[in-house]
Amino acid sequence: MFKNCTAKYNQFISGINDSVIITYPADENGMSKTLCVPMDEENTHYAEILKQVQEGTLTIQDAD
Amino acid sequence: MSKAAELANLIGNINAGGGGVNRNLIINGAMNVAERGTSATGLGGSDGYFTCDRWATFFNSSGRLTSTQDSSAPSGFAKSLKLACTTADTSVASGEYFFLSQRIEGQKVQAFAKGTSDAKPFAVSFYVKGNASATYVAELFDSDNSRQISKTFTVGTDWARVELSFPADTTGAFNYDNGRSLDLTIWLHAGSDYTSGTLNSSAWASSTNANRAVGGSSFFDSTDRTFFLTGVQLEVGQNPTDFEHINSFGEELAMCKRYYQKLTDSYAQHGQICNGHMANSTQFQGVIRFVPQMRAAPSLSHTTTSSNNSSSAYYVATGGANDYVDALAFYNSNQVTTLLYSTSGSSATEGEGANLAVQSTITEFAAVSEL
């Protein structure tokens, strides 16, 4: 689902990861599809992120 | 179907625990709602929802296709989902697949009493056509218990109604929750991993991949290939009945919005998204309420840029000036509300009222809580 995407933790309150930002490759105009995924296992995007991390096909970068 | 036959089927289903109004468990079975857009091209590289709401496509093939909400439809319908092959894949590797699914929440399928001695049968019906004759496979998949059953059906060049009856299953109850429990899947392409066994068509069984899609044609065998689908119905009972049309478009749209909500009606410049305020000189914050309540805490799916200037995707209007914003995020997202805030961009005065809108034409700004 997140082939060729980057993943990065996001923090609204400094020091607390609350979501994962998934960024798809940009198109020829520099525009990308981006997902802000809450860290809630009922969210199927987050469930897929956890699955891909476990399988080693996705790495989540630390928040800025 | 004659009126007498329809009445007999309804009575039969009522006796089996189904029938009546709201009997169709499929959302957007008539393909009337397409919040994401009416056409998507080059599909096949990744799974997802692309045109008609609630209908997901899953791929593992080099074949590619265009998905369209189409105006071709049988009598009594206005729309269909059209899939058109644009890149063929005639060398089918063992693990390949392409299927179309609607995933249904567990709390919606309790009437089947699956996993009990009172279990009820499943009746599936839909309308199909294609560019030429073909055989595909319809599957019911119980994802709570990894059990399934499949049946083949044929497609011709004219619209035809397909009626399939699946038996009750006294093994494996559906969870009563908002998670994925039952998939109605149409297999359109499958490698030997899914076709090398014997089609499991007479009784529910633990899922064995080799028995799931036996006997189906390949949608990707030619760039001439098309597949049209509409009028999909899943109901409790042993006899498929006439398609149950939803009273209004708004009612159908509301059911779809439990899983996907556009947060602005216009993706062009000045499409309004949200009122809010500047929490500090650089961060816009606004609250969004989801109507209706969503299935689960949603993701924000949106178009972003890296420009941070007048080519940015969004702008925040404050005090007569526009500040440009490239990326946004949800905080404390839940089924009812979320805080929407900018993660880059603007420079304004803390405390000012502000509204967020589209600057450069985008392709999506939506809350997503699909299964």
Domain CATH number, residue B72 = 2.60.120.260
Mean pLDDT, rounded, for B299-323: 84
The model's confidence at residue A40, banded by pLDDT at 50, 70 and 90, is very high
Residues B79 and B226 in one domain: yes
Residues of A in contact with B327 (CB under 8 A): 21, 34
Give the total number of structural domains in chain B.
Answer: 2
Rg over CA atoms, chain B: 23
Residues B222 and B202 in one domain: yes
* Parent domain of B24: 3-257
Cβ(B179)–Cβ(B109) below 8 Å: no
Tell me the backbone φ, ψ of residue B37, rounded to 5 degrees.
140, 165
pLDDT the model gives residue B17:
66
Residues B196 and B327 in one domain: no
Spatial CA neighbour of A47 closest among B206, B185, B296: B296
Residues B134 and B150 in one domain: yes
Residues B248 and B268 in one domain: no
Residues of B in contact with A6 (CB under 8 A): none
Closest-CA residue of chain B to A35: B301
Closest-CA residue of chain B to A40: B297
Residue B19 has pLDDT above 80, yes or no: no
pTM tops 0.80: yes
Residue ending a domain, among B209, B229, B257, is: B257
Residue ending a domain, among B257, B282, B299, is: B257
The model's confidence at residue A3, banded by pLDDT at 50, 70 and 90, is confident
Residues B146 and B250 in one domain: yes
Residue ending a domain, among B257, B276, B310, is: B257
pLDDT the model gives residue B344:
67
Residue B346 has pLDDT above 70, yes or no: no
Residues of B in contact with A10 (CB under 8 A): 329, 343
Residues B48 and B127 in one domain: yes
Closest CA–CA distance from residue A32 to any residue of chain B (Å): 5
pLDDT tens-place string over residues B229-260? 999 999 999 999 999 998 799 999 999 999 99
Instruction: Classify each residue of B294-318 as buried b or exposed e, where b means 16 or more C-beta atoms within 10 Å of its C-beta.
Output: bbbbbbbbbbbbebeeeebbbbbbb
Residues of A in contact with B369 (CB under 8 A): 43-44
The three state secondary structure string of B105-146 is: EHHHCHHHCCCCCCCCCEEEEEEEEECCCEEEEEEEEECCCC
Residues B279 and B220 in one domain: no
Closest CA–CA distance from residue A3 to any residue of chain B (Å): 7
Closest-CA residue of chain A to B177: A42
C-alpha dihedral, B106 to B112 to B116 to B120, nearest 10°: -160
Q: How far apart are CA B75 and CA B62, in angstroms?
A: 35
Q: How far apart are CA B94 and CA B59, in angstroms?
A: 13
Query: B46–A1: do the CB atoms touch at under 8 Å?
Result: yes
Residues B225 and B314 in one domain: no
Mean pLDDT, rounded, for B258-280: 95
Which of B58, B103, B304 should we substitute to test contact with A (largest number of A Cβ atoms within 10 Å)?
A: B304
pLDDT the model gives residue B308:
62
H or E stretch at B331: strand B328-331
The model's confidence at residue B7, banded by pLDDT at 50, 70 and 90, is confident
Residues B201 and B345 in one domain: no
Query: B303–A33: do the CB atoms touch at under 8 Å?
Result: yes
Q: How far apart are CA B296 and CA B322, in angstroms?
A: 34
pLDDT the model gives residue A28:
80
Residues B50 and B198 in one domain: yes
Residues B128 and B203 in one domain: yes
pLDDT the model gives residue B97:
98
Cβ(B350)–Cβ(B282) below 8 Å: no
Residue B46 has pLDDT above 90, yes or no: no
Q: How far apart are CA B154 and CA B49, in angstroms?
A: 25
Distances (CA, A) of B240 to A26, B6, B109, B126: 46, 9, 16, 9
Question: What residue has token string 């997202």?
Answer: B333
Residues of A in contact with B303 (CB under 8 A): 31-34
